[in-house]
Structure 1
Amino acid sequence: MAANFSSVPILDFALVSDPARKPEFILQLRHALINVGFLYLKNPPVARKDIDALIDYIPRLFALPQQAKDSIRMANSPHFLGYSKLGAEFTKGKTDYREQFDFATPHETQWRPGAPEYLRLWGPSQWPDEDQLPGFKDTMERYLAQVQSLSYDFSRLLAEAFSLAPDALAHFYDSDEFMQHRGKVVKYPANDGSLSDQGVGPHYDAGFLTFLLQASAHPGLQVQNLSGEWIDAPPIPGTFVVNIGKALEFATQGLARATSHRVLSPPIGSTPRYSVPFFQNISLNARLVDEVLEFPPEVLKLKELRGEAAATDSVNFTEFDREPSGKVNLIGRVKSHPDVAERHYPDLFKQIFPQGLPAQVSAY
C-alpha cells in the first residue's frame, strides 16, 4: 500500500538561516520531495514590495487593449514567449480555459544554423509597450531574478535533503549566461457555463522546480495523491507553492516525486483567478539518462517505503530516457502550442501533426 497524503505540507524558509533548526527544515523537505512532490514555502526570500507590485500590475496587464496583446502574441516567437489568448492552449485534448503571458529571464539565443533545433527554445521575451504599462517589465524582471536566485538556493537544500553534497545538482545547469528560466502570468476567468471547468488540465511540469505565486485568493489548484485522489492546494498568503518537475524525478531515479496537478476554473459569477508560475530549467543539452546520482541506502529505502503511485491523469514529458532536456521541452511546447510550432518548427510540427493543424489536439 502506497504512503499517501491528504494535504500539502508547509515549510518555513526562515528555518534555513537558523543553524539549530535547519536540520528540521531538511527533514521536512525530504518528506515533501519523496512522498508528496509539492509543498508550500513560507517566508521566501523575495521582496514583498516586488511581489505586491507585480500583483498590482496583473489586472492591468490583462486589461490592455486586445490589439496591444495580439502585437506580442506567442506565434511571433520561436521561443514560445508572449501572449496566448483565451483557449489557445490544450491539455490532454481539451481546451485550457485561461489567458496568459509567457516571459523569461534575459537571454540571447544560442542557436545558430546547423545547431540542434531545440536551442531556439530560449531567447528574448516579448514585452508590452512601456508607454501602455510603464514599469511592468522592470518589475517582472526583478521578480524573476529573485525567484531564480531562490531556485538555485533551493536546489542546494534539495541535495542536502537527499544526503548529497550541496553542489550535487550543479552540473545539470550551465553558467548563468547560458541559462534561461521561464515565467507566466496567468488569468483564469470564471467559468461561463459553456465549457468544462478545466482552467488547465492534468499535467506535470518539465524542469527541476516550479515556484508558484497564487496571486489572488481563489482556490482551484489541485494535486493528485498516490491513490489518485485530487487534493486542494488553496492560496496561503505569504507563500509560494513549490513542486517537483519531471526532469528532477528522472534525474533522481524516481526518488523525488513529480506530482500530477491541475487548475479548476473559478465558478460562474466569480472574479478571475490570477497566478504566476516560475519554471526552473536545466541545461538544454543535459541528457538525464547519462547522469546517475548515487544516493545513500537509507535514502533509497524511503522510496521503497513510499510505494508505487496509482495511475495518474498526467502522461507528459516521458522522453527523458532518450532525448536531451531541450528536445523534451520542445516536444511539449509543440504539442501544447501547435500554431507556434507550425510557423517556427515546421519539420517537427509535421512529425507530430502529419494531418496539419488540428481543431483539437491530444496534448499536455
Structure 2
Amino acid sequence: MTTTTDQKPIFAPQIKVPATYMRGGTSKGVFFNLTDLPADAQVAGCARDNLLLRVIGSPDPYAKHTDGMGGATSSTSKTVILAKSDKADHDVDYLFGQVAIDRPFVDWSGNCGNLTAAVGSFAISNGLVDSSRIPHNGIAVVRIWQKNIQKTIIAHVPITNGEVQETGDFELDGVTFPAAEVQVEFVDPADGEGAMFPTGNLIDDLKVPTEIVPSGVLQATMINAGIPTVFINASELGYTGAELQEAINGDAKALAMFETIRAYGAVQMGLIKHIDEAASRQHTPKVAIVAAPIDYTSSSGKAIAKTDIDLNVRALSMGKLHHAMMGTAAVAIGTAAAIPGTLVSLAAAESKASKHTSGKADDNGFVTFGHPSGTLKVGAEAAEVNGNWQVNKVVMSRSARVLMEGWVRVPQG
C-alpha cells in the first residue's frame, strides 16, 4: 500500500497468475506451472507460501474460504506446482502444498495421492511432457518425480486425437460424475524419510494418555508407505470402522483424541521429537482406524455389503475424518494389507480367507476396502527380502479433469 499527499491510501492492483483448477481423484486444487509463478515464488520460502495462502483464501477464521479458491476442507485446500523434470527418466516434477484452513501455514511434508491423478494430464496439456512420448491415440505413460517425498509415480493417461481424454464411464466412489480412468502406480512407495516400518515392528504398543484408553497403550501399525500412517483397531476406540463423517467430525472430543494419537504416533515414528511439534506438521502422519468388514450405507446412500469389501478403513486428514480416502493413505492401506501381521492385514484376514475358500480370491495382491463414500480397490506387490518387507509398487485407478483454467487473481502485499 502507498499513500497520496493527502494521506488517502492507494492499494496496489491484483496480480494475474496463470493457473488451472483441477479435480484429481476425490480432491481438487489449484495447479501452477512453476515458470508462471512470480519470480520470488518460484523458489521455496515465505513469498511462495504467502502467495498460495492468498490463492486458497487462508487463514480463514470463518472456515469458508469465501475469498479464495479453497473449499474449506482438507480435500479442497490444495496447491500443486509442476515443472519439466531434469531428473533422468522422468517427465515432470510434482510439488504438493497442503494449505491449512485456519492458520497461515502450508505443509510440504507429504504427497497428495488423489491429485497425482491430475498431474499427468496437466503436464501433457501444458507442454511439460515431450511430444514424442504422447501417442495420437492410446495411453501416455507419464513419469512423475514427487518432490515432497522423493519418489517416482507413473500415471497412465488416456489420449484421444492427441489430447488428454477426460470424459469416460469410470466411476469412483466419492466423485459424483464418471470420467476417464487414470491408472496410477506408486513405485517403491516406502516414505523417503525412513524405513517402511520405522520402529522395526509390524505392530507396536503406542503409548498414549490414559484419558484415551485406561491402559495408556494402543496397538498400532505405523508405516511409511505413500504417506506416514498410524493404523489403530477401531474397536479399541469404541468404533465399528463403518462410521461416516458426522459421527466423528461432529464430536470435538473425538477429534481431539485422534489428534493426540496422531501426535504420539508421530513421535514414536521419529517424524518429530516432541508431541508439541505435531501442530506444525498437520499433513503427516495420517491416523486411521481399521476393522473387519460389516454392512453399512455410504454417505451417498449406497449400500455396501460386507461381502463387497475385505475390510473397513476410516482415515483423518488435517484434523477431520476424510469424506472418502486420501490416495496416499490408500497406498499405505494396500501396502499394509499385503504384509501379513499388520493390523490392516489382520482386519482383512477373514474376508481374504473366505474368498480363497470360495475360489473368489484375487491373487494379484489387491484388497478392496470400505470408506465413508463407498469402496476402493488397491493392489500392492510385496516381498520379504533378508527379513525386511519391500513393496515394489502400489497400483490404483483414479480419474481427473480440468474444472477451470485461466488466471487466478491475487492481491499484492
* TM norm. shorter chain > 0.5: no
Q: Bigger radius of gyration, 1 or 2?
A: 2
Between structures 1 and 2, the one with greater strand share: 2
TM-score tier after normalising by the smaller chain length: under 0.3
Query: Normalising to structure 2: TM-score of the pair?
Result: 0.25
Bigger RCO of structures 1 and 2 (CA < 8 A, at least 6 apart): 1
